[in-house]
Structure 1
Amino acid sequence: MAKLSGITAVERPPTLGRRAYLQIQQAIRDGSLTPGEQYSENELAESLGMSRTPVREALLTLNREGIIVVESQRGFRLRELSTAERQEIFDLRSLLEGFVASRLALSATAEDISQLRAIVDAQERLSSGEESEFLALDERFHLLQSEILGLERTHATMASLRGAMWLFGFEALKLPRRLEAVVIEHRAIIDAIEQGDPEAAASAARKHLANTAAVTL
């Protein structure tokens, strides 16, 4: 049988369930949904302009990921993570992101470095009151590294851990001068990667996460 060539896959638009998931994710990021409150599934569906089915699908996914707790009578609330759970998240991130940064230091191209610097440059241009945008760029900075390396399992695990970070990511960013410190720490990671120094890159990544943990826990 002849092999097909020159045919590209059709890019499908996101399903309604996926769209609902992304919009709920953004609402958590920007603080529209907050811990300690119980929300109505029906009211959420109405706000999103969707039927309950895709919204229910999105909520069940977030429940499996440990981001929300689905209550009886079709309600839900955000998870409130214990100090031990938060510490575990940072410990896991430190292991994975130190590993990723060290691997990237051995293979990063000029284009890879340019992509990472562009994200941090965009972070630096933001100011107080734009924490949601800053947090989105922060997530992109960290996940892009494993994406560049093609480490699919590592990337998926890191993305899951980042999901839990939505629940308390704003806490650290609200502290005085923490945004400026994050930019400096991100640049230190990039510099070590660009210099091709895997130990320095891993150390910079772990130090960045240790600093964030210190102000968050």
Structure 2
Amino acid sequence: MTSQSLMNTAYTTLRQRIVGGSLMPGTLLSENELAEELQMSRTPIRNAITHLESEGFVVSLKNRGVLVKEISGKEMLDMYEAMMSLLVYAIDVKTERNSSIDMAKLEDCLEHQFKAEQEDDYFTYIQNNFMFNRIIVSSINNHAMIAIMDMYVDKLAMASYINYKLTPHIKHYSANKLNKSIYDALKAGDDEEAKLMAKGAYVYARSRMFDNGRF
């Protein structure tokens, strides 16, 4: 394998572990241990870590090494607000642009979300939740907006999944009810109601994070 391929392998492996919660925030990463585990030199490991640091998944601390970074409540809420803003805008302009949302794909995401809740598969649930939002934003064919959404998805998925693991006493899967309400409003042609539901989701998320001591 080329050095670039080795770096990509190390990067993908570490990113998946961080986003999937197997490497929790505060975990110290050892270049030597990772190099031995992945059977490669430290150079591609170091390059992969540099890439992850540029994306905000890890942080280098002088004389301590590299730590998996915690996504703060403020950062999480800012990203969520940005995503909901994109969602509201896409719903708002889709008619004047003569574009349409793929309702069949939205329904498929909902089915996977509810199935994931029944099986207590939170990671599958959260992935389909974000895909639900992405389908709506994609309907207006703005690639810059889609790129912004894609940039936030993994960080939000990581933060949401870790919060789920750390707060088993709190009821989760709230996006199932929200997305079903948005779907029903869109299907009925009530775009204003769909936008109100999306705006209300941010207010609810903010209130819940304050109640849970995330600020």
When residues 49 and 140 of structure 1 are mapped into structure 2, their CA distance, relative to the original with a 3 A threshold, is farther
When residues 175 and 46 of structure 1 are mapped into structure 2, their CA distance, relative to the original with a 3 A threshold, is farther
The superposition leaves residues 6-43 of structure 1 with CA deviations (integer Å, 9 ceiling, x where unpaired) of xxxxxxxx955445444333212332010122111333
Structure 1 residue matching 2:103: 3-state secondary structure: helix
Q: Which residue of 1 aligns with 2:128?
A: 137
Map 1:151-170 → 2, pairs under 5 A: 151-170=142-161
Report the CA distance between 1:92 and its aligned residue. 2.2
Conserved 8 A contact 1:146-1:152? no
Give the counterpart letter for 2:181 in structure 1: A
Report the CA distance between 1:95 and its aligned residue. 1.9
Q: Does residue 193 in structure 1 map to residue 193 in structure 2?
A: no
Q: Which residue of 1 aligns with 2:206?
A: 213
| Separation of aligned partners in 2, 1:19 and 1:146 | 31
Map 1:73-112 → 2, pairs under 5 A: 75-104=65-94, 107-109=99-101, 112=102
Higher relative contact order (CA 8 A, sep 6+): 1
TM-score scaled to structure 1, two decimals? 0.75
| Separation of aligned partners in 1, 2:70 and 2:45 | 21
Mark the runs of 5 or more structure 2 residues left unpaired by the alignment: none
Q: Which residue of 2 aligns with 1:37?
A: 27
Give the counterpart letter for 1:70 in structure 2: S
Query: Which is further off, 99-108 or 149-158?
Result: 99-108
Alignment counterpart, residue 112 of structure 2, candidates 122, 146, 171 = 122
Give the counterpart letter for 1:108 in structure 2: S
| Separation of aligned partners in 1, 2:93 and 2:5 | 35
Identity percentage over the alignment? 25
Mark the runs of 5 or more structure 1 residues left unpaired by the alignment: 1-13
| Separation of aligned partners in 2, 1:17 and 1:148 | 35
When residues 195 and 36 of structure 1 are mapped into structure 2, their CA distance, relative to the original with a 3 A threshold, is same
Report the CA distance between 1:71 and its aligned residue. 4.1
| Separation of aligned partners in 2, 1:44 and 1:147 | 38
| Separation of aligned partners in 2, 1:17 and 1:42 | 15
Conserved 8 A contact 1:41-1:74? no
Query: Which is further off, 15-24 or 141-150?
Result: 15-24
Work out the number of aligned pairs and report it. Answer: 201
Alignment counterpart, residue 62 of structure 1, candidates 52, 62, 66 = 52
Conserved 8 A contact 2:103-2:187? yes
| Separation of aligned partners in 1, 2:132 and 2:190 | 19
Q: Which residue of 2 aligns with 1:149?
A: 140
Q: Which residue of 2 aligns with 1:4?
A: none
| Separation of aligned partners in 2, 1:82 and 1:196 | 37
Report the CA distance between 1:48 and its aligned residue. 4.2
When residues 44 and 209 of structure 1 are mapped into structure 2, their CA distance, relative to the original with a 3 A threshold, is farther
Conserved 8 A contact 1:78-1:167? no
| Separation of aligned partners in 1, 2:42 and 2:88 | 41
The superposition leaves residues 110-150 of structure 1 with CA deviations (integer Å, 9 ceiling, x where unpaired) of xx111111011011112354222222222322223323432
| Separation of aligned partners in 1, 2:106 and 2:5 | 30
RMSD: 3.0
| Separation of aligned partners in 2, 1:75 and 1:44 | 13
TM-score scaled to structure 2, two decimals? 0.75
When residues 18 and 199 of structure 1 are mapped into structure 2, their CA distance, relative to the original with a 3 A threshold, is farther
